Structure 1
Amino acid sequence: MDLIQFYKCLADDTRLKSILLIQQESELCVCELTHALDQSQPKISRHLALLRQHKLVVIRRQGQWIYYQINPQLPDWAQQILSLSLANNAESIKEEVTRLAEMSCRPDSDSSCK
C-alpha cells in the first residue's frame, strides 16, 4: 500500500464518504452508495473503480449485485486510520446514513428488488 496513493484516494469527498459508509455498513452495492450520496451511478462507479484499483476496496458478487467491502488485506495502519476516521467523524456522513436507512428496496433487505 502506497501511503501517498492511500491519502490521495481519501482526499476526494465522494471517495471518502463512500469508504466511511462501506466501513460502517461492512459492504454496500453501487445502488446503495448512489442513493446515500445522492450522486449519479457513473460517478459513483468511477470513484469505486479508483478505490478498487488502489486496493482499498474489494468486491463480492451475489447474483446481479456487486458489493464493495474494505479490503481485509489493507495494512494494519490503513485499517486503523479508516476505523478511527469513522469513529471520530460519524457526523460527517450523518445525512448519507439517513438517506441509506430510508432507501426502499435495498438489495440485501428485500429479495423482490431483483
Structure 2
Amino acid sequence: MRVKNFSLGFGLQLFKAFSEESRIRILHLLYQETEMCITDLEQVLDFTQTKTSRHLSYLRNAGLVYSRQVDQFVYYRIRHQSKDMVEQIFQYMSKDKTLLEDHETYKILYSNRELAVNKLHQKKWHRLD
C-alpha cells in the first residue's frame, strides 16, 4: 500500500525527519540497500551506537522505517507506505557527494565481509582435509 495523500501531522514528521543530515544518510543507505543491520549503519556512517539508535527511533516513530530482530541483530528498512516519497526525494539528491561516499563505503565493507567469510569457510574445509 502506497500513500496517496497524508495529513499535515505526517507531512510535518516527514519533513522533520529530512531536516537532519544523519537521518538523511541513514534513510539513503536503507533506500539503496533495502535492509540494513544497525551495526552496519554504525560502521558505514562512523556513528556511535547511541546516535544511530536515536536517529532510527526518530525515523521509526515518524513512520518512515520499521525493524525486525533476528537473534541479537536488528534490521531496518523503509516502510512500504513511505517508499514512494523517500524515492522521489532521493532522486533529487542522487549526485550528492556525501551520500555517494556512504554507499561506496558500505559496498567496500560488505565486499570485505564476504571475503572474510569465504576465507573462514575455506580455512574450515582445509582443516577437514
Q: Do they superpose with TM above 0.5?
A: yes
Cα distance between partner residues in 1 of 2:86 and 2:53: 20
Is 1:70 aligned with 2:78?
Answer: yes
Work out whether residues 65 and 76 of structure 2, in 8 Å CA contact, stay in contact via their aligned partners in 1: yes
Aligned pairs for 1:1-114 within 5 A = 2-74=10-82, 79-92=83-96, 93-103=99-109, 104-105=112-113, 110=117
Shift in Å, 1:91: 2.7
Task: Name stretches of at least 5 consecutive residues in structure 2 with no aligned partner.
Answer: 1-5, 121-129
What is the TM-score with the length of structure 2 in the denominator?
A: 0.72
Deviations 1:66-114 (A, max 9, x none): 100101233xxxx3231122233233211111111121438xx95x8xx
Q: Secondary structure at the match of 1:91?
A: coil
Q: What's the % identity of the aligned pairs?
A: 27
Per the alignment, residue 123 of structure 2 pairs with none
Q: Secondary structure at the match of 2:69?
A: strand
Task: Name stretches of at least 5 consecutive residues in structure 1 with no aligned partner.
Answer: none
Alpha-carbon RMSD across the aligned residues, in angstroms, is: 2.2
Work out whether residues 24 and 86 of structure 1, in 8 Å CA contact, stay in contact via their aligned partners in 2: no
What is the TM-score with the length of structure 1 in the denominator?
A: 0.80
Cα distance between partner residues in 2 of 1:97 and 1:41: 19
Work out whether residues 30 and 44 of structure 1, in 8 Å CA contact, stay in contact via their aligned partners in 2: yes
The residue identity in structure 2 corresponding to 1:81 is M
Task: Considering fraction of residues, name the structure with more helix.
Answer: 2
Cα distance between partner residues in 2 of 1:90 and 1:105: 26
